[in-house]
Every structure is written in structure tokens, then in C-alpha cells.
Amino acid sequence: MNTSQMHERLRLELLRRIQRGTLSVSLLARQTGFGQAHLSNFLHGRRQLSLDAMDRILAAQRLTVVDLLPAVPQKSAGQEDGAIEAVPVVSHATALFEPVIRPTAIQRMLHLPPGALATVRARATSPRRAWQRFVAVRIAAADALPMEPLVLPEALALIDRHYNVLQAYRPNRPNLYAVRHGAHLALRYVEFQASRLILRPHNIAFPIELIALTAEESPSEWLVGRVALILNEI
């Protein structure tokens, strides 16, 4: 990766953090000592940074150069090429907001039998097709309760982020989605009516939730992806 590519990956990562509300230009200016206009020009692609300036931004945001590298699928020791399929297990925030999974964001790799994902069908909106497709997340006990007994505490949910449309994957069977609920990820059955997303739990003891969308928003923006596999630990 050359310097121009590093600049672009750093710029996109900062813009993602600004978009999801964990960073602002003014905060970055305070952290680094750079002027807001200087940072704004970089974020809008009007100028590049010196290597020293990049180092200061990386340090302020607790990033390393490794975080800017594209993810490389990992293999277990002793495995031959093509012997397994590996999916990164990541945090909910990473699954929600990061198109490309950084190596340091990977908590572990979920290894699947060969060909397990080969026939999984995708239905993605155009922007989402550029995202790294499969990720897995751990579902904490409190998040699993609305979906019990389908999802048990500490289950792993494998998410296909290239399926973010409200179209049944199989006839007469509702899709289970990972959906963005504010800055949180939830597993729910999802419908769209009267400009509202309807989030339905599997456990009828829990209420239905509604998310009102603006005229500029589409349901696909809120769908992280279809849950393709649930691995409940016994």
C-alpha cells in the first residue's frame, strides 16, 4: 500500500467515525492541535497530510498502520488452501459501520465447513455491494432474550451484509435480520409499513418496536444484513 492509498484509507476511516457520531472535526482538532480548516480540507480530499501529521492523527484515534490495511482471511495452522471458510467475529459497532473489517477489529475467526457459504444468495443495494460480505457477532444474554429460544445467550450470529432488502429469502418464511436500532445492533424479524420499520421479536413476551424513517431514508440503510446462521452454544 502506497502513501496515497494510506491517506485515502485514513480519510475514509475518519469520515466513518464522524458519520456514526464518535468523532467530530472539532474534537479531532483538539486531539491533534491542527486547525479545523486544515482537517476539513483533508477530509474532503482537497489536500494530503505529511507523514508526521498522519502519525499524530493515528495516535490520537488509537489507530495503527495495520488498521488501514485490507483484511486478509486467516487460516488455522495446518489447514490447506480451500479447506475451510473463515468469517471474522467482530463487535456490534464494527458490523454496523465498517465496510472493510480491519485486522485489529477481528476478535477471532469463525471456521465453517468447506463450501458452507458458496450457495448463499445475495440481494444488496448498490452501496452495500462494496462492503466485506460476511461477519459474525456475539449476542449477549440481554440481546438474546427477545429472540429466545431461536437465539440463546452468547450465541454467534453470522450476518450476510450483502442481503439488506426486505425480500423473503425463502417463500413463506420470514427473514431474521440484524438491524440498526440507534447505535445498537438487534436481531429481529422486520417489516416496513407506513414509513416505519416494524421490529418483531420471536419471544411474544417482548414488545414490537417501531422505527420511523424520514422521507430521505430507506429501510435498507437500517438493515445490517440477513442472519444466515445462528450458532447456539450449549
Q: Which residue type does 58 have?
A: L
Nearest to 212 by CA among 181, 173, 176: 181
Q: What is the pLDDT of residue 73?
A: 47
Positive or negative CA dihedral for 31, 34, 35, 39?
negative
- Give the per-residue pLDDT at 76: 39
Residue with cell 471458510: 85
- Each residue's pLDDT, cut to its tens digit, for the chain (234 residues) gives 577 778 888 888 888 788 777 788 899 999 999 998 989 888 887 888 888 888 899 898 888 877 777 655 444 333 444 445 889 999 998 998 888 888 888 999 999 888 888 899 999 988 888 889 999 999 999 999 999 999 999 999 999 999 999 999 998 899 999 998 877 899 999 999 988 999 999 999 999 999 898 888 889 889 999 999 999 974
94: which 3 cell numbers?
464494527
Non-local (6+) Cβ contacts of 77 within 8 A are: none
Instruction: List pLDDT tens digits, range 162-192.
Output: 999 999 999 889 999 999 887 789 999 999 9
Backbone angles phi, psi at 3, to 5 degrees: -65, -40
In order of their start, the domains of the chain are 3-68 (1.10.260.40), 85-231 (2.10.109.10)
| Chain centre distance of CA 116 | 21
Q: What angle do CA 13, 133, 193 make, to 5 degrees?
A: 95
Q: Phi-psi category of 182—alpha, beta or left, where left has phi over 0 and alpha has psi -120 to 50?
A: left
Cα 27–Cα 30–Cα 35 angle in degrees, nearest 5:
100
Reduce the DSSP state of residue 183 to 3 states and report it. Answer: coil
The owner of cell 419471544 is 203
